[in-house]
Amino acid sequence: MQMKWTLALVGLVGLTACADSSSSGNAGPASDRLREVAAPGQDLSRVKVDAANGCYVYEYRGPVETTYLPVRTRDGRPVCTRKQS
């Protein structure tokens, strides 16, 4: 019985990790400059800067959940507002 409660607690803690707490600010459409450097196939209608690393993220609406993914260039690099360390 103790094992069931332990597994339930671990599962509950694991679910809280799904919350998006790293991004802040209001999402809005991407600027023309960001659209120029971003790789095709990314929906740039709702973009914001991730406060944790200063990189742009876009809203991805998947079949199960909506989350923010990093905006990438054609060669796969993230697009950031400041130099990453």
Please name the residues in contact with 49: beta carbons below 8 A apart, sequence gap of 6 or more: 25, 55, 56, 57, 81
> In this predicted model, what pLDDT tens digit does every residue of 64-78 receive, in sequence order?
999 999 999 999 999
pLDDT at position 63, please? 95
Question: What is the pTM (predicted TM-score) of this model?
Answer: 0.66
> In this predicted model, what pLDDT tens digit does every residue of 45-60 receive, in sequence order?
999 999 999 999 999 9
CA distances from 32 to 45, 53, 54, 65 (A): 11, 22, 19, 28
Residues 36-47: what's their mean pLDDT?
96
Ranges of each domain in the chain? 22-85
> What gap in Å lies between CA 35 and CA 33, rounded to an integer?
5
Start-to-end Cα distance in the chain: 47
